[in-house]
Amino acid sequence: MWSRLTAVAVVSGFVVALPLRAQAPSSTGGARLELTSSSEDAKAAFRLALFHALNQSPVHATTNLDKALALDPEFGLALAYRSTPAFSPGVDAAERGRRLSDAIGRMTKASAAEMLLAVSLREIAAGRTEVAKQLLRAVSDMVPGDPDVAYLLASQQIAGRPPAEAQQGLRTFLARFPDHAAAQNQMAYSSWAAGDRAAAFAAGERYLQVAPMLANPHDTYADLLLLDRRPDEAVPHVTKAMEADPTYAGGHQKLGAIDLMKGNSASALSHFGAGRDAARTPAAKLENQHWIAVAHVLDRNLKAAMAALGEAATLAESEKLPAGPRALPHQRMAVVEALLGNRAAVQAHLDKSAEIGGASTGGQTAHATIAFASIGDIAAARNAAAEFAKVVAPGNPAVRTFNALIALLAKDVAAASAELANANPNDLLAKELRAEVLKSQGKTAEAKQLRAEILSSSVKQDGNNAVNFFNVVARLRADKL
């Protein structure tokens, strides 16, 4: 598993109680960041917290960071990190900025490098990434031998870049710090997205070697096997992840996703229910609830799916989660209502999600595009896709996929084919649309081959255990080919 949220949780070396390779990644030499705290134990707990945050162990990360602050309540850099999304995911932007500024104001004894690093965290959280990059370059110049400062800078530099460019940036970093666990993790996903299967598996294997005590290397390797459509080989790695860390939240989700790949919805529902009951955070509980809805959708029990999404909406509201998670159940209910053929209900749920999270977000406009396309409303789907293109980063390949979807609705196969030539070839919905184009061109064997590939693929996100609802739609469409 990999998340950009934890790409901000990197600084200083690893810590005692970890294998030697995890304690001291190879480097080219040079100074490393010195932490300013009255307690050596607080420094050690802080470093361990960041190691766990970066490697997707949020319970251990938060426990250790809170331990550091209990040992030294004036530990300024720890206070700053405690306010980042990795450690305080439910805090709104204004409050996060206030907390970060307060932490920076208390760093009166900190070094210049620590101070600049804390300010860069505030700039990242505020979305001022170019300013953050300048600050991080300055910090990296001050402590050129610190692998985690270098990784934070590299992560910011490759954020949003095409997969091949991200892969090259990580390759450059790993030439300096080959044993950096989190970078090997990110390299695995970036390489797969770039179409470099061999490099992806090599990075996944290296991640297992440098951090064997963690759950996430097994989770990541299981992801690679699922992307390679080898679900049976993935199961032992999921089991090892669950054994390595009882707080690992993704085990039941991933086992359930594997069951769905194999068409076993009853077993999948059992896993998702167990994951929901064992969840330690509202966000984890909510994600399992979404998976329950997906299992019902794939089982063609759309009314049960609506009920499950209704429970998700209630949970998100009762836990006072941020706008995005509160809007998402309504966005997905709009798509399910479209599959049911309920045009008025589609608009009602889209109106509700817009009221909660805004009408001009990527998630809102993407779900609107899929919902209107599923109900057969070409004009509304085209308008939603145009709005999506305005709010996402230039060159986002999903724009091409949505354009192809609308072209097929309009029975313009040539236009759809042209759009798909520039879509993400690994995207499941783009693959399904490509299969439809092939079928319309009389290339039945090729269409059937793509259909089989889609129906044997996972519907989860490539880099984590969350649901990709557009993959679900792709599976449903492929099943009708």
Q: Rounded to an integer, what distance in angstroms lies between the CA atom of residue 447 and that of residue 451? A: 6
Q: Per the domain annotation, does 84 fall within a domain? A: yes
Q: Per the domain annotation, does 262 fall within a domain? A: no
Whether 26 and 179 have beta carbons less than 8 Å apart is answered as yes
Whether 146 and 24 have beta carbons less than 8 Å apart is answered as no
In DSSP terms, which residues pair with 467 in a beta bridge? 460
Whether 287 and 253 have beta carbons less than 8 Å apart is answered as yes
Residues belonging to the chain: 481
Strands (E), 53-177: none
- Looking at residue 6, the DSSP 8-state letter turns out to be G
For 24, the domain range is 4-160
User: Following DSSP, what letter does each residue of 354-407 receive, concatenated?
Assistant: HHHH-SSSHHHHHHHHHHHHHHT-HHHHHHHHHHHHHHSPTT-HHHHHHHHHHH
What is the residue-level pLDDT of the chain in tens, covering all 481 positions?
655 333 433 333 322 233 323 334 444 557 888 999 999 999 999 999 989 988 988 889 999 999 999 999 999 999 999 998 888 877 878 888 999 999 999 998 899 999 999 999 999 888 888 898 899 999 999 999 998 889 988 988 888 788 889 999 999 999 999 999 999 999 999 999 888 999 999 999 999 999 999 999 999 999 999 989 899 999 999 999 999 998 887 899 899 999 998 889 999 999 999 999 988 788 889 999 999 999 999 999 999 999 999 999 999 999 988 899 999 999 999 999 999 999 999 999 999 999 999 999 999 999 999 999 999 999 999 999 999 999 998 888 999 999 999 999 999 999 999 999 999 888 999 999 999 999 999 999 999 999 999 998 888 876 667 788 999 999 999 999 8
Q: Per the domain annotation, does 433 fall within a domain? A: no
Whether 251 and 241 have beta carbons less than 8 Å apart is answered as yes
Q: Per the domain annotation, does 237 fall within a domain? A: no
Q: Per the domain annotation, does 285 fall within a domain? A: no
Q: Rounded to an integer, what distance in angstroms lies between the CA atom of residue 398 and that of residue 362? A: 10
Give the global pTM. 0.80
- Looking at residue 10, the DSSP 8-state letter turns out to be -
Whether 317 and 289 have beta carbons less than 8 Å apart is answered as no
Q: Per the domain annotation, does 296 fall within a domain? A: no
Please give the C-alpha separations between residue 393 and each of 100, 242, 402, 407, in angstroms, as whole numbers.
27, 36, 15, 22
The token pair that represents 169 in the structure block: 């940036």
Closest CA to 303 of 274, 275, 261, 345: 345
Total tally of structural domains belonging to the chain:
1
Tell me the CATH number at 140. Answer: 1.25.40
Q: Per the domain annotation, does 362 fall within a domain? A: no
| Phi, psi dihedrals of residue 460, rounded to the nearest 5° | -85, 170
Q: Per the domain annotation, does 361 fall within a domain? A: no
The token pair that represents 269 in the structure block: 């529902």
Q: How many CB atoms lie within 10 A of CB 245?
A: 21
